[in-house]
Protein backbone atom coordinates (compact mmCIF):
# COMPACT_ATOMS: atom_id res chain seq x y z
CA UNK A 1 0.00 0.00 0.00
CA UNK A 2 1.38 3.37 -0.97
CA UNK A 3 0.78 5.92 1.76
CA UNK A 4 0.82 9.07 -0.35
CA UNK A 5 -2.40 10.99 0.32
CA UNK A 6 -3.77 8.21 2.56
CA UNK A 7 -5.54 9.51 5.67
CA UNK A 8 -3.93 8.01 8.76
CA UNK A 9 -5.14 8.40 12.35
CA UNK A 10 -2.38 7.88 14.93
CA UNK A 11 -3.28 7.68 18.62
CA UNK A 12 -0.58 8.45 21.15
CA UNK A 13 1.07 10.64 18.51
CA UNK A 14 2.54 13.27 20.83
CA UNK A 15 5.61 11.31 21.97
CA UNK A 16 7.65 8.15 21.68
CA UNK A 17 6.73 5.58 19.07
CA UNK A 18 3.66 7.55 17.96
CA UNK A 19 5.74 10.63 17.22
CA UNK A 20 8.23 8.48 15.32
CA UNK A 21 5.46 6.87 13.29
CA UNK A 22 4.09 10.30 12.41
CA UNK A 23 7.49 11.41 11.13
CA UNK A 24 7.91 8.30 8.99
CA UNK A 25 4.41 8.55 7.53
CA UNK A 26 4.87 12.25 6.80
CA UNK A 27 7.97 11.35 4.79
CA UNK A 28 5.72 8.99 2.79
CA UNK A 29 3.36 11.94 2.08
CA UNK A 30 0.49 10.55 4.14
CA UNK A 31 -2.21 12.88 5.47
CA UNK A 32 -2.04 12.65 9.25
CA UNK A 33 -4.54 12.94 12.08
CA UNK A 34 -2.53 13.26 15.28
CA UNK A 35 -4.40 12.24 18.43
CA UNK A 36 -3.23 12.43 22.05
CA UNK A 37 -4.03 14.16 25.31
CA UNK A 38 -1.10 16.61 25.04
CA UNK A 39 -2.44 19.22 22.65
CA UNK A 40 0.63 21.45 23.01
CA UNK A 41 2.96 18.61 21.96
CA UNK A 42 0.63 17.73 19.09
CA UNK A 43 0.68 21.36 17.90
CA UNK A 44 4.49 21.41 17.90
CA UNK A 45 4.61 18.16 15.95
CA UNK A 46 1.98 19.44 13.54
CA UNK A 47 3.99 22.59 12.86
CA UNK A 48 7.12 20.52 12.23
CA UNK A 49 5.36 18.11 9.85
CA UNK A 50 3.36 20.83 8.10
CA UNK A 51 6.58 22.75 7.40
CA UNK A 52 7.66 19.70 5.39
CA UNK A 53 4.46 19.79 3.35
CA UNK A 54 2.40 17.24 5.26
CA UNK A 55 -1.35 17.78 5.72
CA UNK A 56 -2.08 17.46 9.44
CA UNK A 57 -5.12 17.59 11.69
CA UNK A 58 -4.55 17.83 15.45
CA UNK A 59 -7.19 16.16 17.61
CA UNK A 60 -6.85 16.45 21.39
CA UNK A 61 -8.11 13.03 22.41
CA UNK A 62 -8.28 11.01 25.60
CA UNK A 63 -8.60 7.52 24.13
CA UNK A 64 -10.17 6.23 27.34
CA UNK A 65 -13.18 8.49 26.66
CA UNK A 66 -15.56 7.02 24.03
CA UNK A 67 -16.92 10.52 23.29
CA UNK A 68 -13.41 11.71 22.41
CA UNK A 69 -12.99 8.70 20.12
CA UNK A 70 -16.24 9.51 18.35
CA UNK A 71 -15.20 13.15 18.00
CA UNK A 72 -11.85 12.02 16.55
CA UNK A 73 -13.55 9.95 13.85
CA UNK A 74 -16.10 12.67 13.10
CA UNK A 75 -13.39 15.36 12.80
CA UNK A 76 -11.30 13.16 10.52
CA UNK A 77 -14.18 12.39 8.17
CA UNK A 78 -15.39 16.01 8.20
CA UNK A 79 -11.92 17.30 7.26
CA UNK A 80 -10.66 14.60 4.88
CA UNK A 81 -13.73 12.56 3.89
CA UNK A 82 -12.14 9.18 4.57
CA UNK A 83 -9.99 7.05 6.89
CA UNK A 84 -7.45 4.76 5.23
CA UNK A 85 -5.27 3.66 8.13
CA UNK A 86 -5.80 3.53 11.88
CA UNK A 87 -2.72 3.21 14.10
CA UNK A 88 -3.83 2.30 17.63
CA UNK A 89 -0.64 3.30 19.40
CA UNK A 90 -1.73 4.99 22.65
CA UNK A 91 -0.60 3.06 25.68
CA UNK A 92 0.24 3.25 29.37
CA UNK A 93 1.84 0.91 31.89
CA UNK A 94 1.26 0.17 35.53
CA UNK A 95 4.42 -1.40 36.89
CA UNK A 96 4.38 -2.97 40.35
CA UNK A 97 3.50 -6.09 42.28
CA UNK A 98 -0.03 -6.91 41.21
CA UNK A 99 -1.54 -6.67 44.69
CA UNK A 100 -0.14 -3.13 45.06
CA UNK A 101 -1.77 -1.77 41.92
CA UNK A 102 -4.56 0.70 42.47
CA UNK A 103 -7.90 -0.24 40.91
CA UNK A 104 -7.95 3.04 38.97
CA UNK A 105 -4.51 2.26 37.48
CA UNK A 106 -5.67 -1.18 36.37
CA UNK A 107 -8.82 0.24 34.78
CA UNK A 108 -6.87 3.08 33.09
CA UNK A 109 -4.36 0.63 31.62
CA UNK A 110 -7.08 -1.64 30.25
CA UNK A 111 -9.11 1.27 28.86
CA UNK A 112 -6.12 2.96 27.24
CA UNK A 113 -4.31 -0.08 25.86
CA UNK A 114 -7.16 -2.36 24.85
CA UNK A 115 -10.67 -0.97 25.15
CA UNK A 116 -9.85 2.21 23.24
CA UNK A 117 -8.34 0.27 20.33
CA UNK A 118 -11.40 -1.97 20.13
CA UNK A 119 -13.86 0.92 20.30
CA UNK A 120 -11.98 3.16 17.86
CA UNK A 121 -11.59 0.30 15.40
CA UNK A 122 -15.34 -0.34 15.68
CA UNK A 123 -15.97 3.30 14.76
CA UNK A 124 -13.54 3.28 11.81
CA UNK A 125 -14.44 -0.07 10.18
CA UNK A 126 -17.71 1.18 8.60
CA UNK A 127 -15.78 3.84 6.65
CA UNK A 128 -13.23 1.29 5.50
CA UNK A 129 -16.00 -1.09 4.45
CA UNK A 130 -17.57 1.71 2.41
CA UNK A 131 -14.19 2.35 0.73
CA UNK A 132 -13.51 -1.39 0.34
CA UNK A 133 -10.02 -0.79 1.72
CA UNK A 134 -8.17 0.07 4.88
CA UNK A 135 -5.57 -1.01 7.39
CA UNK A 136 -5.71 -1.34 11.16
CA UNK A 137 -2.34 -1.28 12.91
CA UNK A 138 -2.44 -2.22 16.59
CA UNK A 139 0.79 -1.58 18.45
CA UNK A 140 1.23 -4.55 20.75
CA UNK A 141 4.34 -5.75 22.56
CA UNK A 142 6.31 -8.89 23.23
CA UNK A 143 4.76 -8.55 26.70
CA UNK A 144 1.57 -9.80 25.05
CA UNK A 145 3.26 -13.14 24.38
CA UNK A 146 5.83 -13.34 27.21
CA UNK A 147 4.68 -11.08 30.01
CA UNK A 148 7.44 -9.89 32.33
CA UNK A 149 7.06 -9.81 36.08
CA UNK A 150 5.41 -6.68 37.53
CA UNK A 151 3.62 -5.94 34.24
CA UNK A 152 0.77 -8.45 34.41
CA UNK A 153 -1.98 -5.97 33.53
CA UNK A 154 0.04 -4.39 30.73
CA UNK A 155 0.88 -7.83 29.34
CA UNK A 156 -2.76 -8.89 29.53
CA UNK A 157 -3.84 -5.83 27.53
CA UNK A 158 -1.20 -6.49 24.87
CA UNK A 159 -2.18 -10.17 24.66
CA UNK A 160 -5.76 -9.05 24.16
CA UNK A 161 -4.65 -6.63 21.45
CA UNK A 162 -2.78 -9.39 19.63
CA UNK A 163 -5.85 -11.66 19.73
CA UNK A 164 -8.11 -8.81 18.64
CA UNK A 165 -5.85 -8.10 15.66
CA UNK A 166 -5.81 -11.75 14.61
CA UNK A 167 -9.60 -11.89 14.76
CA UNK A 168 -9.96 -8.68 12.73
CA UNK A 169 -7.59 -9.98 10.08
CA UNK A 170 -9.73 -13.07 9.60
CA UNK A 171 -13.02 -11.18 9.58
CA UNK A 172 -12.16 -8.39 7.17
CA UNK A 173 -9.45 -9.60 4.80
CA UNK A 174 -12.06 -10.48 2.13
CA UNK A 175 -13.37 -6.90 2.38
CA UNK A 176 -10.04 -5.25 1.55
CA UNK A 177 -9.21 -4.37 5.16
CA UNK A 178 -5.99 -5.63 6.72
CA UNK A 179 -5.01 -5.82 10.37
Angle between helices 152-172 and 116-131 (to 10 degrees): 20
d(CA 155, CA 52): 37
Would you call 154 a catalytic residue per the annotation? Answer: yes
Instruction: Kindly state the DSSP code that residue 63 receives in the 8-state scheme.
Output: T
Single out the catalytic residue among 97, 127, 154, 172: 154
Which residues have a catalytic role annotated?
154
Amino acid sequence: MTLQDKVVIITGASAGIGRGIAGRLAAEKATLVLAARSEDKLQLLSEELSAGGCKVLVAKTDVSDPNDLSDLVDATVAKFGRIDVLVNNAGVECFDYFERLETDDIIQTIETNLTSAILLTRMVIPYMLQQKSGAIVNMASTAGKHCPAYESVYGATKAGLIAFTQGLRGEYLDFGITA
